Each structure stands twice: as C-alpha cells, then as structure tokens.
Amino acid sequence: MLVIALTYFFATSVGLGLYFQVKRIKSGHDFTIAGRTLPWWLAMAGLTLTPFGVGNSLALSESSWIWGASVLWWMVVGSGLLVAFLMVGPGRWFRRMGSTTFAEGIETLFDDRYRVLAAIQSLVCWLGISSLEMYGCGGALMGFTGLSIHYCIVFACVLYIIYVLFSGTIQLAILNFMNIFVIYGCLALCFIGLTGWLEPIGGWRGAEELITQRLGAWATTLVPFEKFTDVVLGLILPILICHTAACSMNQAFLQPLLGAKSEEAVRKGWALGLTINVLWGYIWTLLGLLAIAVPSILYKGLAPVIENLRSLPLPQGAVPATIITTCQLPFYSTLGALLALMAATISTGGAFILGNATTITEDFVKRFIKPDISEKGFLKVERIMLIVFALLALGAALMTPYILGSFLWVWIFAIPTFVCVMLGFIWRRNSRAAFWTTIIGWLINILWLLFSPIVIATLPKWMHPPYGGMYPVVIVSIILYIVLTLLWKRETKPGILKTLSLKAG
C-alpha cells in the first residue's frame, strides 16, 4: 500500500512540477499566482482542497467522541459555505484589486503598517495550522507503515515540500484537481469495505445501535435537542466565524483565486467547490464513531489496544483509534482511506507552506527589504522560504496537539483583521482604527486563555477556551473599529468604492 501511495505522489508532484517549471515558470509572478492564467476549474480546485486536510478528516474523527454526528456541521459551515463565500466575496475583491497577495490588497484598503500586521497574523496562524496538517499526514503514514508517528511526520514534511517546490501555484492547482478524483474514488472503496466489515454486528443499523449505547442517542443526530445550545454556541458558531475569518485573511486560500485569469473565473465554480467540500468528511466522522463503539470482535488481536485508547481522557485516543480502525478494514478499503487522507493533507499543507512562503517573499522581502530583487533572486528566496516554513511546521507537529481546539484558538487571531477588512470594504476605512482594533483583539484572545482558570470557569461551557474567546473578540472588534473610525474621522471613503475605481481604471 505504501509503495502505491508514494509512487503516485512522487510521480505526480515531481513530474508535473518539473514540467511546468520548464514550460511556465519564467518569473516570480508565474510562481506565486501562475501568471494569472488559471481557468475557473483550476482556480476552483486550487481553493477547494485547501480546507480539506486534517480539519475535515481526523479533526472530525477526534471530535466525534465529544460531539457525535453533529460534528458534521464542521463541513457544512466551515468548508462548504467558506468556499462559496471566498469565491463570490473576498476572492473576487482582492483579484479585482490586482493584488499578488492578500496583504497587498489590505495595504490598498489601509496602509503599509497594517499590511505588515495582517501578514504577521497570517504567517503565525497558518504556520500552526500547517503543523496540524503535517500531523494528520503522519497519521496516514503511520497507518501504512506501523512506524512511530514522529518518523511519519518527518516523512510527511518531505512530501509537503515537493508538492509545491518546483512550480508553485500552477503545480498546486493541477495536483489538487487530480486529487479530487483520487480522494473520492478512494472514499468509495472505503465505504464499500466498511459495509462488508460491519456485517457481523448487523451492518450499519447494528453500528448505530452500538454508538447509541456507548455515547447516547444524541450521538447519531445532526442537531441533538438535548445538546442544542452547546452544539450551536460551542461548535457551529465558532467554526463558522473563526474558520471564515481566518481563511478569508490568508494567502493560501486566496492564492489560487488571485491566479485566476479573470474575475469570472474566480466565482464560476463556487457551487461545485461547495459540494466537493461538504461531502469529504462524512467517512471520517463514521470512522471516529466506529472506533469508540464497535465491538472487539472486529478488531481481532488489537482489541486491548483500542480499549486502552478509549480509556484516555477525551478525545486523546480518538485519532490513533481511528487509524487502527481503518487498518482493520479490507485491504482495498484501508488503502482507499489512507491514500485519501494523504492526498487531502498534502494538498492542504502544501498550500499553507506555499502561502506563507509567498507572504514572506512578497510582503516583506520584495515590499520592504529589496524592492529591486531580480526574478531569479525572487524565485530562490521563495523556494528557500518554502523549506524553512515546512521545517518550522515539522517542529510544531512533533508535539502531537489536540487538533480541533488548536485550530479554533489559532483562528481567533484572524477575527479582528477580518472585521476591519469587511467593514473597510462595505463601510469606512481607517488605518489607525484597524491597527488598534487588531492589537486589542489579539490581547483579548491571549488573556482569555491565560485567565481561564480564575475567571472564565464560572461562565457557560461554550465560553471556555480554546474557542470561547471568540465571542468577546468578535464583539469588541466590531464595536471598537466603528467607534474609533467615527472618533478619528480619517479615510472615511468606503473601501469597496476604491476597488471599483481600480477596476474602472
């Protein structure tokens, strides 16, 4: 199985990467945004698989031990709606500006100081998320090889680098397009194998009964009424707000759209992209629930290991248990699930390290340090930055974090920037107000985590860290930006009018 998977990834990544490096990559512009030549289906594919990764797979398996089937809202509001929003909203707006990076577009709205602040937020935020994706890819490799997760994470780092090293965005978009078919073909194999595997316990009906016995009747319901408030306030809203804010203010998500050949190509595939994203995570929710509920007869000699993982504090044992469950399926189903997981996490992680490398090269080196850098020098710096950020993500991934909680807390740092940019587009711009709103929002998120044992423990559960700080950050950011903008009365021209004037020009 490992030979099949690695043959596919190395052949496509290296082969296509080198081909386009020779045929298409003549400048930094070609590397970062494909020379603005991507048709709609490649721009869509480049974006669509970016939020796939570990967030829509192992994070669902992990969180199903806490939320049951309601964790599927992650895919609906956190991935499907996100893709549609980016393609009809910020993706079009930043593309209309002619920006190479989202931070460049933010400078157009505000000023160069806020461009730096937004770029720093994006770099730190998505460096952390890259490490989680690398951890997820290492989990897939662990399933293939049985080696330690740490060795597998190191090898995953190598796969991430070669995925985008040679040709940048054009390489990413084409490989992502191919991986859509690989992923869904593999998941079909996995589902077929699951159906046969569950026959000794009564098929899917029997599995549902066992999940209910283990977790409760609420676990098989998308919106359990007895947990309705917790699901809405502790899951759906945090994912909707945090994910949308963080991904809208990130180079990795916007880069394929910035490389589209026209504004029409940015938005044309939004419905298809939404559908592709919503469907991906169902199998991983099922595998997570099966790992905690199905009887030991299906695990054969690994039953004691599974029981040991179940006894750990939730959800610590969920990811290893899910991988072990996957490895008990028929050969073709295990191959399908793990290959799909590798494809998804490599597509996502590769996009993140490419986005970070582009941000540091365009928004710092070229903008402030060496504006006259040559095309050859630009390409060299960006490829070096690719490797540097991959290695930094590797160091964080080796700490094997709690996936969902880490995602949400890191994403909260993007909320102040998102609020300022959206209000700048549709209402009024004020660079000074944006700067201080962002700084104060960051401080609130940090303090919310640090002082949680003393103060926040008395609040409702959905207000607890890691994601409970979202609510005060959102409220303070909106109020503070509006008040400061009205108080200082500067740059009050609506930002969206500026983008329209740029298009007309």
In angstroms, the first-to-last Cα distance of the chain is 55
Is the pLDDT confidence value at 493 over 70?
no
Map residue 445 onto helix, strand or coil: helix
Neighbours of 15 (CB within 10 A): 11
What per-residue confidence (pLDDT) applies to 456? 66
What per-residue confidence (pLDDT) applies to 134? 87
Q: Is the dihedral of CA 177, 265, 241, 157 positive or negative?
A: positive
Task: Quickly state the pLDDT bin for 94 (edges 50, 70, 90).
Answer: confident
What per-residue confidence (pLDDT) applies to 111? 87
C-alpha distances in angstroms, 453 versus 235, 292, 403, 460, 465? 21, 30, 21, 13, 10
Where residue 146 falls (left for φ over 0; alpha for ψ -120 to 50; beta otherwise) is: left
Least confident of 196-200, 318-322, 364-368: 318-322
- Asked whether 60 and 315 are in contact (CB, 8 A), the reply is no
Is the pLDDT confidence value at 464 over 80?
no
Q: How much of the chain, in percent, has pLDDT values that exceed 90?
A: 34
Check: pTM over 0.85? Answer yes or no.
yes
The pLDDT tens digits of the residues spanning 270-302 come to 999 989 888 888 888 999 999 888 888 888 888
HSE-up (13 A, CA, CB side) for residue 82: 32
Q: How far is CA 290 from the centre of its chain?
A: 25
- Of 116 and 316, the one with more pLDDT: 116
Is the pLDDT confidence value at 35 over 70?
yes
What per-residue confidence (pLDDT) applies to 491? 62
- Of 460 and 7, the one with more pLDDT: 7
What per-residue confidence (pLDDT) applies to 384? 94
Strand partners, 260: 38
Once rounded to an integer, what is the mean pLDDT over residues 213-240?
Answer: 83
Residues 6 or more apart in contact with residue 268 via CB below 8 angstroms:
40, 44
Neighbours of 39 (CB within 10 A): 15
Measured CA to CA, the distance from residue 116 to residue 499 in angstroms comes to: 20
What per-residue confidence (pLDDT) applies to 272? 92
Q: Rg for the chain (alpha carbons), in Å?
A: 22
Task: Quickly state the pLDDT bin for 362 (edges 50, 70, 90).
Answer: very high
Task: Quickly state the pLDDT bin for 260 (edges 50, 70, 90).
Answer: very high
- Of 466 and 444, the one with more pLDDT: 444
Q: Where in the chain is the domain with CATH 1.20.1730.10?
A: 2-17+34-412
Least confident of 116-130, 219-233, 236-250, 273-287: 219-233
Is the pLDDT confidence value at 505 over 50?
no
Is there a cis peptide before residue 320, judged by omega within 30 degrees of 0? Answer: no
- Asked whether 101 and 359 are in contact (CB, 8 A), the reply is yes
Q: How much of the chain, in percent, has pLDDT values that exceed 70?
A: 93
What per-residue confidence (pLDDT) applies to 497? 52
Domain 2-17+34-412 has CATH 1.20.1730.10: yes
The pLDDT tens digits of the residues spanning 393-438 come to 888 888 755 555 667 788 889 999 999 998 988 888 889 999 999 9
Once rounded to an integer, what is the mean pLDDT over residues 33-53?
Answer: 91
Is the pLDDT confidence value at 469 over 70?
yes
Neighbours of 311 (CB within 10 A): 9
The pLDDT tens digits of the residues spanning 157-168 come to 999 999 999 999
Measured CA to CA, the distance from residue 125 to residue 246 in angstroms comes to: 8
What per-residue confidence (pLDDT) applies to 446? 87
Q: Which residue in the block uniquely carries the two structure tokens 């989680």?
A: 132
Which has the closest alpha carbon to 235: 442, 418, 69? 69
What per-residue confidence (pLDDT) applies to 504? 39
Q: Which two tokens stand for residue 259?
A: 């490389």
* Alpha-carbon dihedral 432, 438, 441, 442, rounded to 10 degrees: -130
Which has the closest alpha carbon to 351: 237, 253, 243, 278? 253
- Asked whether 85 and 277 are in contact (CB, 8 A), the reply is no
For the chain, give the mean pLDDT: 86
The pLDDT tens digits of the residues spanning 436-453 come to 999 999 999 888 877 766
Least confident of 317-326, 363-372, 436-445: 317-326
Which has the closest alpha carbon to 433: 491, 346, 495? 491
Strand partners, 38: 260
What per-residue confidence (pLDDT) applies to 57? 85
